Chain A
Amino acid sequence: MEKVQQIVGRARAAFRSGRSRPLEFRIQQLKALQKMVQEREKEIMRALKADLNKTGPNAFTQEILGVLGELALTMEKLPSWAAPQHVKKDLLTLRDEAFINYEPLGVVLVIGAWNYPFALVMQPLIGAIAAGNAVVVKPSEVSENTARLVAELLPQYLDKDLYAVVTGGVPETTELLTQRFDHILYTGNSAVGKIVMAAAAKHLTPVTLELGGKSPCYIDKDCDLAVACRRITWGKYMNCGQTCIAPDYILCDPSIQSKVVENIKATLEEFYGEDVKSSPDYERIVNQRHFKRILGLLEGQKIALGGETDEASCFIAPTILTDVSPESKVMEEEIFGPVLPIVTVKSVEEAIEFINLREKPLALYVFSNNKQLIRRVIAETSSGGMTANDVIMHSVLPELPFGGVGHSGMGAYHGRHSFQTFSHHRACLVKDLRWDVVNRVRYPPGSEEIMQL
């Protein structure tokens, strides 16, 4: 593997050449990416299956559909996003040109995660290319098949010097982080997020951190429980619970707890059949380490549903825990698995207090027919993003910024927010060299009359 320093150096030299600045070039690269996704779909799906047992329409919807959508949107909107934005002028600048110029930052580093290994590398890459940057991509080594494929495919379709892939684990990433970038977008956990930001601080590099946390899901007594539970089941158990914005745990009144369990159970049968393990639509835990970690969270808990596991295939059945204590291990860390704890609360006030005492989550969910209640929950809590009466869906709308707050992250991307994140917004004022008469007001020596003016 070529030295990291050389790869980054080449990207920087390529950026300095200026060839990534014209919009035509960027659109051409995006078109090539589109071609890559369309032509090599089968190989991408094969890699996803090998890494996470993701198959068929499921894998396509989760990883490829969103990417194609982002590509189409970006190619269409790029000219309008990139156009200088003329701004309101005042009396002193009436004769001048004042605008915000959107310029590339330079060399961007994108560090992907293993749970949506293709999408989480491609989506930031699309935004960074659109904004005119050179990009170094570092896919997660945990999803090794996808990482290898990305390293193989990108150079076949994109400008080899401007866009590079660096594969490897902790040592390679650590070395990468010693290099100077103009923006780093990292998707992963908070612990590593801190390391990335500290490394970025040495070069004063801005960062976008897409982290995680425990996304709470409050179910009000006043709601269509069957519908709510179906939507929650879908969002919780997709990708075997390994989704940063999955509803992590449920908060509800003790009186509806058993109904919630019943409804989810019924939905699970609908989705995966009697024997979950043999359903082609149910994924697996990514590796042994995470399998063991999630297993550990079940200790001492009341298992109302599921609990079956198979270490050899990293299979954990969809599981629900009831009457969970807020102090237990399963309520301390992000679960990132198909285990759903229910913590009972007596009121929405208690739920809001519970949520606010903990780290700000990446997503927040509330199910209720009561619009006032929903408005209240939004107003009195803080989270990266949120969806009411459904889960996950706010991340699907490209117009909404996707990102965290507090421990769940900083910055955002998707759609035009990606373009903004990866651009420098440069304030520009172009004046006329004549007409210094107007300027006399501001020059010394000062006087009262001039001040009044």
Chain B
Amino acid sequence: VSHLQESWLLGKTRPMEYRVAQLEALGRFLDDKKQQILDATASDLGKAPLETELSEILLCKNELHETLNNLSRWMKDEKVDRTLAMQLDSAFIRKDPYGVVLIIAPWNYPVQLFLVPLIGAIAAGNCVIVKPSEVSKTERLMAEALPSYLDEDCFAVVTGGVQETTRLLENKFDYIFFTGSPSVGRIVMTAAAKHLTPVTLELGGKNPCYVSDTCDVTNVARRVVWGRFFNAGQTCIAPDYLLCTLEMQEKLLPALQKAINDFYGPNPRESPDFGCIVSDKQFQRVQRLLGSGRVAIGGQTDEAERYIAPTVLVDVQPSDPIMQEEVFGPILPIVIIANVDETIDFINSRERPLAVYAFSSDDKVVNQVLERTSSGGFCGNDTLMHVTLPSLPFGGIAAWERTNGKFSFDTFSHPRGCLKRWMGRESLNAPRYPPYSQRKFGLVQATSKVTRKSDCS
């Protein structure tokens, strides 16, 4: 950490050319190591190479290109409006790097959630330490390979488990970006408080998915199955549980079964497109959740392969274990509600989630759910897709700030208010100096006022 702090003070990471060179090196890393990454993620999560290429590698390359294409524009000072008294001055917001940034990456999207914040932090001119997840083989690979592509004076990878991370967090960083569970998020923020370090926390929660009675059941089922079982359910914004009426449930179940069959075949265990749970510990945790309610679809498991079949549970009560924690696995519990109002109350009585999903052919219903709930993000009539648009910020409520594209750059930049004044025309300043008088005061008021448009009539 002190080595990077020294490099930071030398200003190495500030020039645009330097940042571009590092980002381009990252691009080369992705190209060179693509096959190894694909193999490692297959081993970690049973991810189909195609899925990894799309959701991890391509996504990172897009982020890189978007950043390289726009960096000079993002780095420009943002000019702002001035008052009458400041017309001769220059007022702007300068995007300053913070300094030494710590990124703590999770295991579920080992490439994306490691590299996307790293790209943003480098683009913003910081030195960066990345602490990858010790659970992921992919990240271990990246930890070994990445340092040789980047400037070792300014970028480092620190590996380790809970102990090493705790020790790491005792150091002073200028910014910490954490992706993971709310409980660890609290630990990170508490450690950051000791040094007054600002943080971005990308956490999780139980993302509700409401399906109204008026909808195209086939399409809903496909979109929900896709979002729920992608990456074997290990996605922070996956629809966590479904809310619908009993009638809708009866229609949905066969449609969900058909979608699962279409996507993964009659035996998902053999499908190259369906993944596995990342570790034994996680497998056991998710397996326990199968005890809630009743299995309507799926339910098969194989511990040796860390396989849990795409599963749908019914007769689930709000008090059941599966409704007390984020599922983060390929199980979709259905909770029965009577109508949209009950749905909204149900959602609002729980912690605000990272995402809220609402399906309905009736726009009004979708809008109602949007307007009367609160969540990091919202997607109507689909799942996951709101995070694929770089023009939309990605983040939760208990998670601050936003990532993706320019949002990443802004997350890792300190917006510094700058005013350059003129030394001349000192007489203009006279009204503000003591000794004070009513006349002087009138002048001050006049030149710094912002009037309400309606007042001027």
Task: Check B134 for interface membership: any CB of A closer than 8 A.
Answer: no
Task: Check B301 for interface membership: any CB of A closer than 8 A.
Answer: no
Residues of A within 8 A of B167 (CB): none
Is B196 a contact of A444 with CB atoms below 8 Å?
no
Pairs across A and B, CB under 8 Å, 15 listed: A57-B436, A76-B452, A98-B391, A98-B392, A101-B378, A200-B193, A201-B186, A280-B435, A385-B418, A385-B419, A389-B421, A389-B422, A389-B423, A395-B417, A431-B385
Question: Which residues of chain A from 63 to 114 have a CB within 8 Å of any chain B CB?
Answer: 65, 69, 72-73, 75-76, 87-90, 92-93, 98, 100-101, 103, 105-106
Residues of B within 8 A of A89 (CB): 389, 391
Task: Check B28 for interface membership: any CB of A closer than 8 A.
Answer: no
Q: A-contacting residues of B (Cβ < 8 Å)? A: 9, 11, 14, 48, 50-51, 53-54, 80-83, 86, 91, 93-94, 96, 98-99, 174, 182, 185-186, 189-190, 192-194, 196, 198, 201, 203, 215-216, 218-220, 222-223, 226, 262-265, 271-274, 348, 359-361, 363, 366-367, 370, 372, 374-382, 385-395, 397-398, 400, 402, 414-423, 426, 429, 432-438, 440-441, 444-445, 448-453, 455
Question: Which residues of chain A from 199 to 229 have a CB within 8 Å of any chain B CB?
Answer: 200-202, 204-206, 209, 211, 223-224, 227-228
**A contact residues, total (Cβ < 8 Å):** 110
Q: B-contacting residues of A (Cβ < 8 Å)? A: 16, 18, 56-58, 60-61, 65, 69, 72-73, 75-76, 87-90, 92-93, 98, 100-101, 103, 105-106, 182, 190, 193-194, 197-198, 200-202, 204-206, 209, 211, 223-224, 227-228, 230-231, 234, 270-273, 279-282, 356, 367, 369, 374, 378-380, 382-390, 393-403, 405-407, 409-412, 424-434, 436, 439, 442-448, 450-451
Is B378 a contact of A428 with CB atoms below 8 Å?
yes
Q: Tell me, rounded to whole Å, the shortest Cβ–Cβ distance linking A49 to chain B.
A: 14
Is B386 a contact of A427 with CB atoms below 8 Å?
yes
Q: How far is the CA of A398 from the CA of B54 in the complex (A)?
A: 44
Select from chain A the residue with minimum beta-carbon distance to B223: A439
Is A400 a contact of B436 with CB atoms below 8 Å?
no
Residues of B within 8 A of A397 (CB): 80, 82-83, 86, 91, 417, 419
Q: How far is the CA of A389 from the CA of B417 in the complex (A)?
A: 15
Residues of A within 8 A of B216 (CB): 433-434, 436
Is B51 a contact of A446 with CB atoms below 8 Å?
yes
Residues of A within 8 A of B94 (CB): 378
Residues of A within 8 A of B419 (CB): 385-388, 390, 393-394, 397, 400
Is B389 a contact of A98 with CB atoms below 8 Å?
yes
Is A200 a contact of B434 with CB atoms below 8 Å?
no
- A-B interface pairs (CB < 8 A), number: 300
Is B378 a contact of A442 with CB atoms below 8 Å?
no
Is A444 a contact of B450 with CB atoms below 8 Å?
no
Is A402 a contact of B441 with CB atoms below 8 Å?
no
Q: Tell me, rounded to whole Å, the shortest Cβ–Cβ distance linking A232 to chain B.
A: 12
Q: How far is the CA of A399 from the CA of B54 in the complex (A)?
A: 41
Q: Say yes or no: A281-B434 contact (C-beta < 8 A), given A211-B196, A429-B379.
A: yes
Is B392 a contact of A429 with CB atoms below 8 Å?
yes
Is B360 a contact of A193 with CB atoms below 8 Å?
no
Is A57 a contact of B441 with CB atoms below 8 Å?
yes
Select from chain B the residue with minimum beta-carbon distance to A410: B198
Residues of B within 8 A of A412 (CB): 415, 417
Q: How far is the CA of A216 from the CA of B189 in the complex (A)?
A: 30
Is A204 a contact of B264 with CB atoms below 8 Å?
no
* Complex partner residue of B436 from A58, A90, A382, A394, CB under 8 angstroms: A58
Is B389 a contact of A402 with CB atoms below 8 Å?
no
Q: How far is the CA of A399 from the CA of B89 in the complex (A)?
A: 14
Is A61 a contact of B441 with CB atoms below 8 Å?
yes
Q: Tell me, rounded to whole Å, the shortest Cβ–Cβ distance linking A272 to chain B.
A: 6
Residues of B within 8 A of A60 (CB): 441
Most buried by A among B53, B196, B359, B376: B196
Is A387 a contact of B421 with CB atoms below 8 Å?
yes
Q: Say yes or no: A382-B420 contact (C-beta < 8 A), given A57-B436, A399-B91.
A: no
Is A406 a contact of B421 with CB atoms below 8 Å?
no
Residues of A within 8 A of B440 (CB): 57
Is B378 a contact of A57 with CB atoms below 8 Å?
no
Residues of B within 8 A of A428 (CB): 370, 377-380, 386, 392
Q: How far is the CA of A57 from the CA of B445 in the complex (A)?
A: 10
* Complex partner residue of B453 from A76, A394, A411, CB under 8 angstroms: A76
Is B423 a contact of A223 with CB atoms below 8 Å?
yes
* Complex partner residue of B416 from A197, A385, A389, CB under 8 angstroms: A385
Q: How far is the CA of A100 from the CA of B94 in the complex (A)?
A: 24
Residues of B within 8 A of A387 (CB): 418-421
Q: Tell me, rounded to whole Å, the shortest Cβ–Cβ distance linking B118 to chain A.
A: 21
Select from chain A the residue with minimum beta-carbon distance to B218: A436
Is B189 a contact of A433 with CB atoms below 8 Å?
no
Q: How far is the CA of A384 from the CA of B1 in the complex (A)?
A: 23
Select from chain A the residue with minimum beta-carbon distance to B51: A446
* Complex partner residue of B50 from A65, A69, A410, A446, CB under 8 angstroms: A446
